[in-house]
Structure 1
């Protein structure tokens, strides 16, 4: 829905600005002004999209809470006209007079406000929380309840659970739940469904063999009740995979690891194009950073470290040096333990993500792609593989300069955080596509340029 809204807003603003310009130039012959109107209209619609995205107007919360929209919309319009001013300087074909800017302001408000009102109405109608009963009280069921209670914006409400352990007693972790949940034995499933009248059943049993109430689930489906696998439900909620509860059969039958040659070729082409363009644009900045690193502290400009890439191949990752006396490449150390050795410049380079710029060379060389799981130090991989489920599957794709886990989780400071990143990494591997890569690149650009998360 958010993508549709962004497209409708951009298309509406583009068309309206085209008409405005043509009416001012050729009131009686609108068609003659089309070529001259395209560049300014593209500039206005593009600046609107960037401004709206930066001010979080394409977040679900902004559609559901009307109070958030007005101030963000005003901020976005102000930023839009600042960007348009820069566009006139940088792009010769974009010329907008003061009267045209005023008309554009009114047009944008006149188009965006009704679209937002309709979107709010649709979102509010859809937001009536579905009543959910969860089959199971194990780790996966626990995660699902926690995620729903932690995010009130989700259109779900857990109204009951089925204890797959036998006795109808609430497990200890439910004591901290926001709302008391009735927990019944699995044998009482039909009675609980009749009492609670749920909209959806989520099957999150720890063990299904001999415990799955197949015929009750079939009859529930026949009455219109939605039945969903717990793994897939959790995946939809969180955009990550519950790796501790995954069975190998899920990965096999969902073809998580099977990607077409065409898909891989398109992704590789995108990576090469973005890396080449990024290297050209960043060369002056990289030269300046190299000089500053050399002046700031003694030591080499670049830090080279062995990382694990596609199919477990070891490659040499290039970064700008950010620490005094960097440890050798096989030294196992968490990022938090390095803070005392950061140089004055190094801390700033890390905060701005500028220390990663030399990795454009790794992408062009073929060691990495622009998007993918972040490559881990070779010395850590064996330990991670032993302690984190499916960790070795990260090496079925090229590592990336940025990735789904990077924009969702950030840097990992412990094994628990590496495990959380693995949940996102496996989600990315399952859903790997050109569209997802573009989305990640856009979110990364937002973080780097504006210092804000996606």
Structure 2
């Protein structure tokens, strides 16, 4: 029988799919070797009479080089693009992540580190060599590894509205999630809503069925729970037999959280939030995060102040009115604070009251459109981070006028205010710009996932992947 845990591993409450983890580790090793070969080539070029030979292994700059380029790979979403968009997208993103982001990051590090710790020739040849090694490794991975065979085969117990919604949520991510849905098995007391092609007959022997079909997990998602609690309707003993044989069961809410990185509020119960592994308070983590925010905000301000000055001049020259724009937002535990941005709209943009921002909004100026696309308009919020009203990573703060309305229409909406709001967030990575109540509802599911599972590792991944959002201008209105 197929091992149910073959395709993923849990690291600090987050699930990482093993094929990509192994590929990432292999690439990190290849980048170290590429840096070693590049340094050896540079030293041999310095002495024409010297025959090429590997130089002494100087691991600190090699490790830094490998770490920086690995982070750049994550920031450009190379692994997801490799599966979703194919070879050409993978090569293009690799070139951008290595030659632009990687070279720039290494150059800035070279300025901060001791003299000649990372010299320019080393950066140039290491990036070229590393790009060749990594692209070859990824091509080999795409040719040899069939990721579909590494996915866990799951069956859904239920074929009603809940099962249908679960399939609809999985459909856009089916190429990158670590599961393959074999089908849905209807409960005797529910009306079938999924397609006939997805429906499977009710097994006479569940244990034989999961063994013969190589099922790794049973997702329990019937429509009416009150009708399936009794042993006569709900196959409790069958599922226990399967669990003892190595095929566990899970509820749809936990399955959605694990595979899609969100918490489905249509399935959410307060008791689940209270007793689940998450939504924890850690004074030590809060202090560490605050220290990290202060250091990072100070560093960003020191590097980006010239861009802030140029942005302020451009805003002032294009349209009359103040350079900075401020709004009241809802922060940690519902407290209000004032957020600052460079003004990207006309001065009279809200003469008729608070309005959702729209795609191609006519109120946005030409300079405003540019600074929104490049996120330069958000730079004054470094002050909010330094002041402590915001963090670098967290749910984006919303206006009180909208929060009051949304909290009445969307269950559990106020739960997102249990963590400090941020400049960037999990919802911004996973969902496009929200401009309606339905969008706010969908984004809340990702904000709840962050509120439940937030950690330093998750914050780092969000910051790294936000680079792709900025460079490609995703989610901007």
- Note whether the superposition's TM-score is higher than 0.5: yes
Alignment of 1:24-423 (within 5 A): 24=43, 33=56, 38-39=60-61, 41=62, 45=66, 48-49=69-70, 52-53=73-74, 56-59=77-80, 62=82, 67-68=87-88, 71-72=91-92, 75=95, 79=99, 83=103, 87=107, 91=111, 93=116, 94-95=118-119, 105=128, 109-110=132-133, 113-114=136-137, 117=140, 121=144, 123-124=145-146, 127=149, 130-153=152-175, 154-164=177-187, 166=189, 169-171=191-193, 174-175=194-195, 180-182=197-199, 188=202, 190=204, 197-198=212-213, 199=215, 200-212=217-229, 213=234, 214-326=236-348, 331-336=353-358, 339-423=361-445
Within the candidate set 21, 27, 37, 2:39 is matched to: 21
Cα distance per residue 1:358-403 (max 9 Å; x no partner): 1111111111111100111011112111111210101111111110
For the 8 Å contact 2:38–2:129, the answer to whether it is kept is: no
In 1, the alpha carbon distance for the partners of 2:360 and 2:40 equals 60
Seen in structure 2, the aligned counterparts of structure 1 residues 180 and 117 have a Cα distance that, compared at 3 Å, is same
For the 8 Å contact 2:38–2:125, the answer to whether it is kept is: no
Deviation at 1:438, TM superposition (A): 0.7
Number of residue pairs aligned between Structure 1 and Structure 2: 438
Deviation at 1:242, TM superposition (A): 0.4
Q: Aligned residue for 1:8?
A: 26
For the 8 Å contact 2:265–2:411, the answer to whether it is kept is: yes
Structure 1 stretches lacking a partner, 5+ long: none
In 2, the alpha carbon distance for the partners of 1:151 and 1:260 equals 33
In 2, the alpha carbon distance for the partners of 1:58 and 1:316 equals 38
For the 8 Å contact 1:330–1:378, the answer to whether it is kept is: no
In 2, the alpha carbon distance for the partners of 1:339 and 1:389 equals 29
Deviation at 1:227, TM superposition (A): 1.6
Structure 2 stretches lacking a partner, 5+ long: 1-17
Deviation at 1:324, TM superposition (A): 1.6
Deviation at 1:356, TM superposition (A): 0.9
Structure 2 length-normalised TM: 0.78
Query: Is the partner of 2:228 in helix, strand or coil?
Result: coil
Give the RMSD, CA atoms, in angstroms.
3.9
For the 8 Å contact 1:308–1:375, the answer to whether it is kept is: yes
In 2, the alpha carbon distance for the partners of 1:45 and 1:126 equals 29
Cα distance per residue 1:146-182 (max 9 Å; x no partner): 2333344245443433444725x532xx35xxx7122
Q: Aligned residue for 2:10?
A: none
More helix by share: 1
Query: Is the partner of 2:340 in helix, strand or coil?
Result: strand
Cα distance per residue 1:299-322 (max 9 Å; x no partner): 111111111101111111111112
